[in-house]
Chain A
Amino acid sequence: MFRDTFDKLSWSILVIAVLSLVVLLYVDGGTGSDKRTHGPGKALERELAYRSRVELISTLFAPVEKLRKEGNNQTALLKLDELIKKYPGEGHGHILQGEILYTMGAFDEAVASYVEGIKLNGDYVDAKSSLSRRAEIQHLVEEGLKNIGQRSAANPDNRTLAAFRQKINYLKSRLAGGCE
């Protein structure tokens, strides 16, 4: 290991590099003093982005919420259609649509809207998320499972019912957790 000049040179470089690394980590505390990394850190950046998103969502969908409070569900749905077309990657519109449709008694359509919303953003099934609709979805699944049996018995070959069952099972699976 220390036989010739090359061995000695390699050992010297190794020791110097390791010592420099230790000193660098000690002085810098492993946080990175470089200006590029000096910002708030990725975790905080992400938290800020998440909160901004929640803020943006409440601003964007405020007119819809207002219409709902006034009991003007039809107009709220029309406004939602417009917003869903404008922001196709945002799931919140679908969730609101689901909530309104459920209040209006359109159960199957409400389930379909929830499914669309959750496919776009899984936060709605997370108990910890500020956007969480877990309790509502749980209720929807329980109700869906209850009435699907009766409806299937009456129409065993109905394809629409099969698709509805698939949607209920999707929501059930998302509520059950697991890796995504």
Chain B
Amino acid sequence: MLRNREFWLVVSSGLFLGILGVLLSVWGNPENSGICVSCFIENSAGALGLHDNQRMQYLRPELMGFVLGSVLSALIFRDFRSRGGSAPLSRLFLGIFMIFGCAVFIGCPIKLMLRLTAGDLSAVAGVVGLVAGVWGGLKGLAHGVEFTPQSHGKANGGLLIPILFLLLLVFFFVRPSFLLFSSQGGGAQFAPWQMTLIAGTGLGALAQRSRFCITGSIRNFMLMGFRVPALWGLLFFVGAALVTNLVSGRFNPGLYGQPGAHIEYLWSFLGMGLVGWISVLIGGCPFRQLIKAGEGDADAGMVVIGMFIGGALAQSWGIAATASGVSIYGKISILAGFVLVAAGSLMFRQRTQ
């Protein structure tokens, strides 16, 4: 395996994601949220005026970096292929519910690991939930739950999401008057844009080459055991984040009083369970969806749009959990998500006659 190029690419992705995930917090991003795709999406949706939580509004350059890094890498290595047409509306809804799951847990799968490696033991329920969700998704795939195949061709509009994110980057620099930026709260905490953009672009490019994905790594491990390079990427990510947290003095082990966390373990479990299940069905965690959208996958682009809608609704409807716990709307959204996924699995299932 050590002579395998894919192995080293995945390991580098995991390593850099772990180091930068912690360092971005050191440089100014919120605690344990150096990289959190769902938080960044909620912040960016707020900056675009899609929700009114004045403490969660900032156009995060990391997001633009992920997508644009992926586009650049895909173009340089001739990997950019416009494709789509596989159940786009279903993916849009799954994107919405994926963010609801993250919002109830307070973080995407990347932040889940960052929280854990910073000593937040309340994240353990999320880890168990994510693994259970991936397992559930895999069971579905094994029993014929799959979307219609994608078609390839320019008409799928694979360039639209990269263009949208390029436009968002222009907005970030030009700062048109309609953009909103928090002056208090998590939205007002950010690392210098040069750092965030460089880190985002580099990670986007690396993740495009390596296909690194948190849920994908767990899925591949369940399918093929230790032979898959993806698992090593995940282990290096966790190891690097743990070491960086220890070195930077950010390792505070404990269950209580952790930053951006609550102790409603059942809902953390269910939230991440929903994210894991959806991720397997649509082929990747929120981070991977951004990377795929960057390499021309219009279906992943629909998920990204869904994630922005989900981010806006999570804040506007009070779905997002806080340190005080999970609201009734958050609980309802998770159960509605499971209803959607389970009903969808029954409908999409290819049954042998």
Contacts and interface: CB of A to CB of B under 8 A. Distances in A.
Interface residues of A, number: 32
Interface string B55-69: 110000000000000
Interface of B: 30-33, 36, 39, 42, 54-56, 106-107, 174, 176-181, 183-186, 188-189, 256-263, 320, 322-324
Contacts of B258: 173, 176, 178
Nearest to A49: B54
A29 B70 CA distance: 31
Given A32-B177, A41-B177, A177-B260, A119 B324 contact: yes
Contacts of A122: 55, 184-185
B177 A180 contact: no
Give the most central of A47, A123, A172, A180: most B CB within 10 Å: A180
Given A178-B30, A178-B32, A180-B55, A172 B185 contact: no
Nearest to A119: B324
Contacts of B183: 46-47, 50, 128
A119 B174 CA distance: 35
A170 B261 CA distance: 9
Contacts of B56: 179-180
B177 A37 contact: yes
A88 interface: no
22 contacts: A30-B174, A32-B176, A32-B178, A42-B178, A43-B180, A119-B324, A122-B185, A123-B184, A128-B188, A141-B257, A169-B256, A173-B262, A175-B257, A176-B257, A176-B260, A177-B259, A178-B31, A179-B30, A179-B33, A179-B36, A179-B42, A179-B107
A43 B181 contact: yes
A179 B324 contact: no
Give the most central of A42, A165, A179: most B CB within 10 Å: A179
Interface string A119-141: 10011001011000000000001
B174 A170 contact: no
Give the dominant DSSP class at B's interface.
loop
Give the dominant DSSP class at A's interface.
helix
Contacts of B178: 32, 37, 42
A31 interface: yes
B184 A126 contact: yes
A179 B106 CA distance: 8
A94 interface: no
